Amino acid sequence: MGMQAHRWLMTAQGAPLVREAFVAEPAAGEVVVAIAGCGVCHTDLGYYYDGVRTNHPLPLALGHEISGRVVAAGAGAQGWVGKAVIVPAVLPCGECDLCKRGLAPICRAQKMPGNDIQGGFASHIVVPGRGLCEVDEARLAKAGLSLADVSIVADALTTPYQAVRRAGVAPGSLAIVVGVGGVGGYCVQIARAFGAKVVAVDVDAAKLAAVAEHGAALTLNAREHDAKAVKGAIAAFAKAQGLRATEWIVFECSGTAAGQLTAWSLLVHGATLCVVGFTMDRVEIRLSNLMAFDARAIGNWGCPPESYPAALELVLDGRVAIAPFVERHPLADINAVFHAVHHKEIRRRAVLVPA
């Protein structure tokens, strides 16, 4: 038997989100999660304001950074009932050839809440029971965090975690993060946790000041330096720190054309460029730089569910701080919160909490 629930639907680009009642009922292999919190991501704003197309036709509840408690389950998934969980932002099927070959991020049957299926700006969500990340609530409390707070692990933290892991960041690495709000701020902390010396590049002095206290060994304001000066400053820093002048690892997290051009300009011999942010804007680059520098560029779509526990561990053991970078708001205020985040009136990651 299903349970009464509600969600906030996007009906058209830029139109006010509308509250809808529905019955949350799991099929075999599915669970119902009573949502503790759902983070507001740059991707949600892309759907809502910029016309980025969702795979599921409108109307659709957005939201893919979800934490909560499993309150019902279909056949085969009953073991999840009562557990606190984070719902991965991308849920691969686990059964196809791609999944079996370790290529879950490109699973063609994947389900992304708020894109492929109804999302987390809701009181409840129905999702596959496979791949959920259990949360140890005792350790969560000890870390001074609520279950709502760790909703942002599902994307804002796991996506840069996957990028840092795939890029091979290790002690002795020089990591450069372009765009250090949200995802980029966590990328700074994660790269440091993996042993890198981290340089943060942004156009926002407040964001740079925040990450200077949370893992960035050097901060550079791209408004105050042109691309050549930024690269020169990083080269001088690397030399002073005894780091290599080659093999820099650059994470583009701004999701802006300007940020992408800055990141491209930082290629050196043996560099790795990791594209983490998203924009609809086009940029013009000389692709031959990859050849000339014997460099590589890696796209990054989400994070496999099996890597979520290790990413969450960074939070629970205190190596990555999230409390200074999130703030909770009532789900009922979703239209005002979207407006405020879009206009940069809210500077932290907004987490919407159902009443």
Distance, CA of 126 to CA of 61 (rounded, Å): 12
CATH number of this structure's domain 158-299, picked from the four choices 3.90.340.10, 3.40.50.620, 3.40.50.720, 2.160.10.10 = 3.40.50.720
What token pair was written down for 71?
């309150």
User: What is the pLDDT at residue 35?
Assistant: 98
The CA distances from residue 81 to 32, 34, 51, 164, 172, in Å, are 9, 11, 37, 33, 44
* pLDDT bracket for residue 280 (50, 70, 90): confident
Residue 352 pairs in a beta bridge with: 38, 329
Q: Which helix (H) or strand (E) holds 98?
A: helix 97-100
Inform me whether the pLDDT recorded for 1 exceeds 90.
no
Per-residue model confidence (pLDDT) at position 286: 97
Q: Rounded CA gap, 244 and 127, in Å?
A: 45
Helices (H) and strands (E) in the chain, counts: 11, 15
Q: Which residues contact 347 (CB under 8 A, 6 or more apart)?
A: 181, 206
- Mean pLDDT (the chain, rounded): 97
| Token pair recorded at residue 125 | 């969500």
Residues of the chain with CATH 3.40.50.720: 158-299
What CATH code is assigned to 3-155+303-353?
A: 3.90.180.10
Q: Which residue has the tokens 């569910």?
A: 305
The predicted-structure confidence for 63-103, as pLDDT tens digits, reads as follows: 999 999 999 999 999 999 999 999 999 999 999 999 999 99
Residue 141 confidence (pLDDT) = 96
Q: What percent of the chain is helix, strand and coil (3-state, nearest 5)? A: 30, 25, 45
Distant-in-sequence, close-in-space partners of 47: CB < 8 Å, separation ≥ 6: 10, 53, 54, 62, 114, 115
Q: What does the pLDDT average to over 231-253?
A: 98
Residue 354 phi/psi, 5° resolution? Answer: -60, 150
pTM of the model: 0.94
The pLDDT of residue 23 is above 90: yes
In the chain, which residues fall in CATH 3.90.180.10?
A: 3-155+303-353
Percentage of the chain beyond pLDDT 70 is 100
- On whether the CB atoms of residues 242 and 172 are closer than 8 A, the answer is no
Query: Residue 156 above 70 pLDDT?
Result: yes
Amino acid at 181: G
Structure tokens at 203: 């156009």
* Structure confidence by residue, pLDDT tens digits, 305-318: 999 999 999 999 99
Question: Burial code of 295-308, b = ≥16 C-beta within 10 A, e = fewer?
Answer: bebeebbbbbbebb
Question: Residue 115 pLDDT more than 80?
Answer: yes
pLDDT at 211 over 90: yes
Please identify which residue in the block is written with the tokens 């830029």. Answer: 14
**C-alpha dist (Å) from residue 92 to 111, 124, 145:** 6, 21, 28
**Strand 3-9 with 18-24, pairing:** antiparallel
- Is it the case that residue 139 has pLDDT exceeding 90? yes
User: By the 8 A CB rule, do 64 and 56 touch?
Assistant: no
How many whole angstroms separate alpha carbon 159 and alpha carbon 170? 18
Q: Average pLDDT for residues 153-158, to the nearest whole number?
A: 96
Task: Report whether pLDDT(2) > 90.
Answer: no
Residue 254: predicted pLDDT: 96
Question: What is the sign, positive or negative, of the torsion defined by CA atoms of 196, 199, 200, 205?
Answer: positive
Residue pointed to by tokens 């999230």: 322
